[in-house]
Amino acid sequence: MTVRVLGVGAAAPELRLRAADVGAAWGRGGRGEVAVCAPDEDTLTLAWQAADRALAAAGVESGQIDALYWGTSRPPFAEGPSFAFLAASLSLAATVGGALCAGSTHAGMEALAAGTDAISAGSARVALVIASDALRPGPGTGFEARCGAGAAALVLAVDGPVTATIGARVTRTRPFLDRYRGDGEVDNRDMYDARLFREQIFLPVVRDVAENLAAFDVRAWSLPDPDGRLGAVLARDVRAPITTSSTIYGAIGDAGAAAALLGGIAALDAAGLVAIVGTGGGRTTGVLVNAETPVPGAALTADAISGGRPASYAEALRARGQLRPVGETIPMGVPPESAMFVRGADEMLGLLGGRCVDCGTISTPPSIHPHCINCGGPKLEPVALARHGRVHTFVVNQTMPAPFVAPLPIVVLDMDDGARLMLQAIGDGSDIEIGRQVALVLRKYAHERGVPVYGFKAQPKKEVAS
């Protein structure tokens, strides 16, 4: 069966770390910059952002998704409900199938292949494929200043408008060690020997896969480039007319499992054949995508990953959990494994409210509102809350104990559906004022006892409401 690409979306953290700042800490040079996660971002929040954009571009409702395939080298739980948390935060149906692919930076290609196969086999009519990553290199390792973060998502379907279709696939498996971390290790280890990696591991197998795809009339390529040079070598080998991945690497660094698909979706902004090659963990896979017209969302890739605020090396280390304060931090009043999180799982991750059948007022969250806050009525129906609103009033908290980081803006919002919410806002608060429009995005509120606690935060929009 034909596998269509209905829409794509990309995401990357706003923070940028300069390679020169990393190099300076270790007595080295460095050029370029990479995207690094803020303390409230990780592979799951990046995946959510890319998927949210892909669904919007495709014009597909979350309830239509039959299967989710998510590839990341670093799911938020080493073992746990990573897939289920992401599915709930995207408001996917409880019946959603699919898989979490992990274990190496090849995971993004595995998700794409699995999603394609699910559609081909007829086990899913609409599949959401997401690749996201946030590499966590060991401080001082040679690849540290190259390690970035980002996410790409594709909506695949058996029906729909003709935009692009997924074609031939080539794959190779070789039992070689490349970049890795052992069981229980949190930081990626460096390559044992850069020349050994280049000459005996990376180039022979990736070149083999790429040259198979080069037999076709490929318009644009997404090629792996872990060290900032190998991508150019491959592009020369296959005589690539356009290498969209080099732009992605230049903007955000090596986005690990997301890198191949990010380069791939960026290339879908025009008609023609696109070759996507990803590698990691001893596996390399290449896929052809035939775009008959530009794919919705593809042209937004560059904007979606464009950078913002520069981060110091110390800030990046703190955000990655590699620089920690001494002493106890304030634990959550409600442990994240406890009953409240079981009761509130759907309403927190899916952002639900209770709409009063009698007066229409929305009370939220539903689990603590058996009665309406306006009329006291007992009949409330669950509704998905609006994701856009404006600031009614706000504060910027400057006095925060660890694990909080000040400044922390907190906003009271009048949402477009009439609900009122109070949430944390993204940024330092300097761009917040009464009337400012915001969009809600998924972020991490806490990380305690190994459990990431996700919820929505307010992202101020640039313009001021009239």
Partner 1 sequence: MSWNKVAVVGAGLIKMGELFEQSYEQMAAGAFDAAVASVDKGFEPHQVDAAFVATQRGTLWGQEGIGGNTIPTAIGLAGIPCTRIENACPSGSDAFRVGAMAVASGVHDVVLVIGVEKMRDKSSEEGLLSRAAAGHPIFTRGETAPVLFAPFATRHMHEFGTTREMLASVAVKNHYNGARDPYAHFQNEITVDDVLKSPSVCHPLHLLDCCPQTDGAAAVLLVNAERVREFTDKPVYAAGFGVATDHPYLHEKDSFTEIKVTRMASQRAYAMAGVGPGDIDCAEVHDCFTITEILDIEDLGFFDKGDGGRASLEGDTSLTGRIPVNTSGGLLAKGHPIGATGVAQITECWWQLRGEAGERQVETRNGYALQHNAGGRGSGVAVVNILTNRTDTS
Q: Which is nearer to partner 1, 101 or 413 (CB)?
A: 413
Dihedral of the CA atoms 55, 56, 58, 59 (nearest 10)? 110
Quote the CA–CA distance of 296 and 214 in Å, as a whole number.
26
Contacting residue, 410, 417, 439, 459, with partner 1 by CB under 8 A:
410
Question: Kind and range of the H or E element at 260?
Answer: helix 259-266
Are the CB atoms for 147 and 183 separated by under 8 Å? Answer: no
Q: Is 434 in the site for partner 1 (CB under 8 A)?
A: yes
Contacting residue, 175, 183, 333, 339, with partner 1 by CB under 8 A:
333
Dihedral of the CA atoms 314, 317, 322, 325 (nearest 10)? 40
Q: Min. distance of Cβ 234 from partner 1 in angstroms? A: 45
Burial of 175 (0-12, 13-18, 19+ CB in 10 A): exposed
Q: Is 26 in the site for partner 1 (CB under 8 A)?
A: no
Contacting residue, 203, 373, 383, 439, with partner 1 by CB under 8 A:
373
Contacting residue, 186, 215, 334, 359, with partner 1 by CB under 8 A:
334
Q: Is 232 in the site for partner 1 (CB under 8 A)?
A: no
Q: Min. distance of Cβ 424 from partner 1 in angstroms? A: 6
Contacting residue, 158, 233, 396, 439, with partner 1 by CB under 8 A:
396
Q: Min. distance of Cβ 72 from partner 1 in angstroms? A: 24
Q: Is 446 in the site for partner 1 (CB under 8 A)?
A: yes
Contacting residue, 404, 417, 418, 447, with partner 1 by CB under 8 A:
404
The count of other CB atoms within 10 Å of the CB of residue 441 is 18
Q: Is 420 in the site for partner 1 (CB under 8 A)?
A: yes
Instruction: Find the part of the chain contacting partner 1 (CB under 8 A) among 7-15, 94-102, 202-210, 341-349.
Output: 341-349
How many residues of this chain interact with partner 1, rule: CB under 8 A? 43
Are the CB atoms for 437 and 459 separated by under 8 Å? Answer: no
Complete DSSP assignment for 235-259: HHHTT-S-BHHHHHHHHH-B-GGGH
* Per-residue 3-state assignment (H helix, E strand, C coil) for 182-235: CCCCCCECCCCCHHHHHHHHHHHHHHHHHHHHCCCCEEEEECCCCCCCHHHHHH
Q: Is 466 in the site for partner 1 (CB under 8 A)?
A: no
The count of other CB atoms within 10 Å of the CB of residue 96 is 20
What is the binding site for partner 1 (CB under 8 A)?
330-334, 336, 340-341, 344, 348, 363-365, 368, 373, 392-401, 404, 407-408, 410, 412-413, 420-424, 429, 434, 445-446, 453, 455-456
